[in-house]
Amino acid sequence: MSTTAAVVVYGATGHTGRFIVAELRRRGIATVVSGRDAARLETLAAEWTDVVVRPATVDDASSLDRALAGAAAVINCAGPFAVTGGPVVAAALRAGIPYVDVAAEIEANAAMFADHAAAAGTTGTPVVPAMAFYGGLGDLLVTAAMAEWTSADEAHVAYGLSSWHPTAGTRAAGQVSHERRAGRRVRFTDGALRYHDDKVAEQDWLFPEPLGRRAVIAEFTMADVVTVPSHLAVPEVRTYMTVEAARDLAKADTPAPEPVDALGRSDQTFVVDVLVRAGGVERRATARGQDIYAVTAPLAVEAVQRILAGHTRTTGLASAGAMFEAADFLRALTPYVSVELPH
């Protein structure tokens, strides 16, 4: 297969990476699979004979350059992104091709904006971090809910997960984040990320039916606290997680997700409920779907397709809500995601 205009998936053998490769192939997009484990990549290529294998490691810049040579774009699915994000985006900038990742790590996303925005802006190379369930979907929903508003007093993103069976990658990334924070928690308040040692608190959140009123962990802080304020004037961004899902994540013996349908999705469902407030006025936006890892694939692949087609609102490094027309992007995710947006 020719790799002309192919999309490179770095970390293709991982749980989310496989969903992304499948989505690219479903859309007829030429695909190069890459990552550090050549043997696992070859196994994947034996299963999907129309992909090209190009092994690469993040500690070998020349191998990354070879993996990205002649490609149209790269999607980085290999966590922890505190380790992979910098080297892979640097290789994309050297190659002059768009970079998209699916990082949920707060500090890794903050570092992406801090360390690579200038280079991406100078070259005009599109770079979209956190183009995933956490960080990307919430940012699109907040942006769509705000619509013509240029600012808001606060934004709330509540995650109603029926359960959370974490992958090995999720656990590894969570451990890295925990170590970087020295066990502290983080919130976005008064326009800045702030670390604290406050105790975990619970409250109720009234999700749309059929989920209804559920107990949530208040300030269960996710990547939305980086993506939303990166382009919207919202000094308070708070995220919440259903108690059951948070407990699943905390347990060391919670198993990894198991496929239950032909797409390889687990039976875990989600509702992401966004509430924004400005001057006493409230607006909501909601998304529903199945499997938080699987839904990252149409998010990331739709982003790449829009970038390559020139359907973007800006250049350089930007979050999903800044790069794309949010409401239109969300509606394009059907049938993977159903959305309810303000009229």
Q: Would you kindly state where each structural domain of the chain is located, as residue ranges?
A: 7-132+297-326, 133-292
Q: What kind of architecture, by CATH, is found in domain 133-292? A: 2-Layer Sandwich (3.30)
Q: Is residue 185 within 8 Å of 197, Cβ to Cβ?
A: yes
Three-state DSSP class for residue 159: strand
**Which residue type does 192 have?**
A
**Which residue type does 8 have?**
V
**Which stretch of DSSP H or E encloses residue 301?**
helix 296-309
Instruction: Look at residue 4 in the predicted model and tell me its pLDDT.
Output: 53
Instruction: Look at residue 209 in the predicted model and tell me its pLDDT.
Output: 84
Q: Pick left, alpha or beta for residue 23 (phi over 0 → left; psi -120 to 50 → alpha; otherwise beta).
A: alpha
10-residue mean pLDDT series, the chain (343 residues): 75 97 97 97 93 97 98 97 97 98 96 97 97 98 96 98 94 86 90 92 93 94 97 98 96 96 96 97 97 98 98 98 98 96 85
Query: Where do the DSSP E strands lie in the chain?
Result: 7-10, 31-34, 52-53, 73-76, 99-101, 127-128, 154-161, 185-189, 192-196, 201-206, 213-218, 237-242, 269-278, 281-290, 337-340
With 0-12 / 13-18 / 19 or more C-beta atoms within 10 angstroms meaning exposed / middle / buried, residue 190 is exposed
Q: What kind of architecture, by CATH, is found in domain 7-132+297-326? A: 3-Layer(aba) Sandwich (3.40)
CA dist., res. 154 & res. 136, Å (int):
18
**Which stretch of DSSP H or E encloses residue 109?**
helix 106-123
CA dist., res. 162 & res. 322, Å (int):
30
